[in-house]
Amino acid sequence: MWWKIFLVVLGSLIILALLLVTTGNFFFNRQVKKEVKSILTRGKKIETSILTERDIENLPEPIQRYIRYTGFIGKEKVVTVKLCQKGHFRQGNRPWMPFEATQYYTTDPPAFIWSVKMKAWPLISVRGRDMYQEGKGNMLIKIPPFFTIADARGAEIDQGVLVRYLNEIMWFPSAYLADYIHWEPIDSSSARATMTYRGITASATLTVNNKGEVVNFVAQRYFTLDDQYSLETWSTPLKEYREINGYKLPVKGEGIWHLSSGDFPYIRLEIVDIQYNLHKGN
């Protein structure tokens, strides 16, 4: 008889655990939806226009080549973006974790929200949200229902998310024309971009091949280890381009920290879908 009681108790505990996880995911998703609405609402006030050859004539030649290659000439400049991706992520010496993520961007003002679900253990997923808004960054990581692993803020986080935003403009390159980005030509295959916004400045070198594909992005970005920050070299080599919704875009790449101890690849991702100018009802 005792084993029947045990099974009933065990079943009740499992149901309770599932309810708690579901509740935790509900509140996390509700928070992210509220934050996404906050940044996308600003896009409704921005008028879009067509990107022309004249618009890009003052950019370094490699960047002009990239914008032409991607197919943005003759189409609307991007104000808002929704991007879906999948891939694998790891932290330190821990195993690679598969993830799925959705990211929203605005270009005026520059902002993004990245919401990710990572499979950390067989029955447990980690939820994360990386945000860049009004020049500030916040990295939130939780294990549902209510355990917060990280809630990082501060000057180093602000610099890191600005570098990340500058990097990811490759998926909506009409934003390379924004007044918060300054360009310097280097040679026939590379250019230097410097982004300054809300008192934070960072620079990066973009490398473009003869076809017009951006193949690498290299910048100095803050790296954290044991709650200590250091400015390190960070790169995002790109491996494949594909046509998505009429644009030829980089769809596979990875993020690599170039540390004194050696190179550390920590994220490998693939773009699944991308949509532009959501504020117009797309």
Any idea what the CATH number is for the domain that residue 179 is in?
2.50.20
Share of the chain above pLDDT 90, in %: 69
Residue 68 has pLDDT above 60, yes or no: yes
Lowest mean pLDDT among 19-28, 51-60, 106-115, 260-269: 19-28
Residue 178 has pLDDT above 50, yes or no: yes
pLDDT in tens, 8-63: 444 443 443 444 455 555 666 677 688 878 888 876 667 789 999 999 999 999 99
The pLDDT value recorded for residue 22 is 54
The pLDDT value recorded for residue 278 is 82
Residue 268's beta-bridge partner residues?
Answer: 88, 254
Confidence class of residue 123 from pLDDT cuts 50, 70 and 90?
low
Mean pLDDT of the chain: 87
Lowest mean pLDDT among 18-22, 49-53, 103-107, 147-151: 18-22
Answer with the residue of higher pLDDT: 120 or 60.
60
Other Cβ atoms within 10 Å of 147 Cβ, number: 10
The pLDDT value recorded for residue 18 is 45
Total number of domains constituting the chain = 1
The pLDDT value recorded for residue 2 is 53
Which of 13-27, 83-97, 121-135 has maximum average pLDDT? 83-97
The domain in which residue 208 lies consists of 2-280
- The Cα–Cα gap between 182 and 60 comes to 10
The pLDDT value recorded for residue 100 is 95
Contacts of 146 (CB under 8 A, 6+ apart): 20, 24
Residue 217's beta-bridge partner residues?
Answer: 206
- Token representation of residue 214: 């951006």
Lowest mean pLDDT among 140-149, 177-186, 212-221: 140-149
What are the C-alpha distances in Å from 4 to residues 11, 18, 156? Answer: 11, 21, 55
Going by C-alpha positions, the residue among 247, 224, 242, 192 that lies closest to residue 71 is 247
